[in-house]
């Protein structure tokens, strides 16, 4: 078989694999297989090293090992869920203390007071909270205030971050970033979308804010 023949056969396959939907399905299948392997291999270890020596039947030993692995998995999930919940509560308490100061600084900047250096320091310590406050203000302002706040968002680097999210290869991430807006089709239908940062801030600040609501806690 010649090289040209191999290329003619391989080109459609490569093109098919590069399709976003196919790539996401392959990633989903790979994750499922990884999870399955992560469950089966420890089950086999428990069966070989702990349970089989105490039970006469192999099938019973495998079943008991599987039940032990299931119990360990459930306990691990509960511990992780509890840790995540506690972490979110801590972040919510911390946000309730720092957000008023951030909002005051943002409002002062919109009013004409140069608080850029202060907001930069806040961004280093509380990047997600500053981002949420700026996006929240963008959804409520019009005219000069929005233009000034858009310049602040570009200066702090948020505009590039938002543009990257709206241009993500992941369909779900683009849908999340542009959810609850009349421009969702524009953001979700074209992975090669190349709008500028200022266009994002001008056209759809509410899309940015919708994608950041969960970060406020």
**What are 91-108's pLDDT values in tens digits?**
888 888 888 999 999 999
Q: pTM of this prediction? A: 0.54
Stretch 126-146: mean pLDDT: 86
Provide the mean pLDDT of the chain: 78
Stretch 158-179: mean pLDDT: 72
pLDDT interval class at 178 (50, 70, 90): low
Give the CA-trace dihedral at 23, 26, 30, 32, to 10 degrees.
120
Model pLDDT, residue 132: 85
DSSP assignment of 139-205: TT--THHHHHHHHHHHHHTHHHHHHHHHT-S-HHHHHHHTTTSTTHHHHHS-TT----HHHHHHH-H
Least confident span in 175-179, 182-186, 212-216 = 182-186
Q: CB neighbours of 184 closer than 8 A, spacing ≥ 6?
A: 175, 178, 207
pLDDT over 50 at 202, yes or no: no
pLDDT over 80 at 125, yes or no: yes
pLDDT interval class at 64 (50, 70, 90): very high
Model pLDDT, residue 168: 73
pLDDT over 90 at 42, yes or no: yes
pLDDT over 70 at 139, yes or no: yes
Spatial contact of 140 and 103, defined as CB atoms under 8 Å apart: no
Give the CA-trace dihedral at 131, 137, 142, 147, to 10 degrees.
-30
Stretch 100-128: mean pLDDT: 91
Least confident span in 6-20, 82-96, 168-182 = 168-182
- Maximum mean pLDDT: which of 33-37, 79-83, 98-102: 79-83
Cα–Cα dist 141/116, whole Å: 18
Spatial contact of 41 and 66, defined as CB atoms under 8 Å apart: no
pLDDT over 60 at 77, yes or no: yes
Model pLDDT, residue 107: 92
Model pLDDT, residue 102: 92
């Amino acid at each position: 078989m010649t090289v040209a023949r191999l290329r003619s056969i391989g080109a459609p396959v490569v093109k098919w694999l590069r399709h976003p939907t196919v790539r996401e399905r392959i990633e989903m299948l790979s994750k499922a297989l990884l999870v399955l392997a992560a469950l089966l291999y420890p089950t086999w270890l428990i069966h070989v090293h702990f349970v089989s020596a105490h039970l006469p039947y192999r099938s019973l030993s495998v079943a008991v090992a599987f039940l032990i692995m299931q119990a360990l998995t459930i306990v691990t999930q509960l511990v992780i869920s509890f840790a995540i919940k506690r972490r979110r509560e801590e972040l919510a308490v911390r946000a309730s203390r720092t957000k008023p100061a951030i909002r005051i600084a943002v409002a002062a900047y919109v009013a004409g007071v140069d608080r850029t250096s202060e907001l930069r320091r806040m961004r280093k310590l509380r990047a997600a909270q500053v981002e949420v406050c700026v996006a929240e203000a963008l959804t409520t302002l019009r005219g000069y205030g929005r233009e000034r706040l858009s310049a602040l968002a570009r200066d702090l680097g948020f505009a590039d971050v938002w543009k990257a999210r709206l241009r993500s290869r992941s369909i779900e991430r683009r849908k999340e970033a542009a959810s609850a807006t009349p421009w969702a089709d524009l953001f979700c239908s074209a992975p090669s979308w190349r709008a500028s940062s200022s266009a994002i801030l001008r056209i759809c600040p509410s899309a940015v804010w919708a994608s950041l609501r969960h970060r406020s806690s």
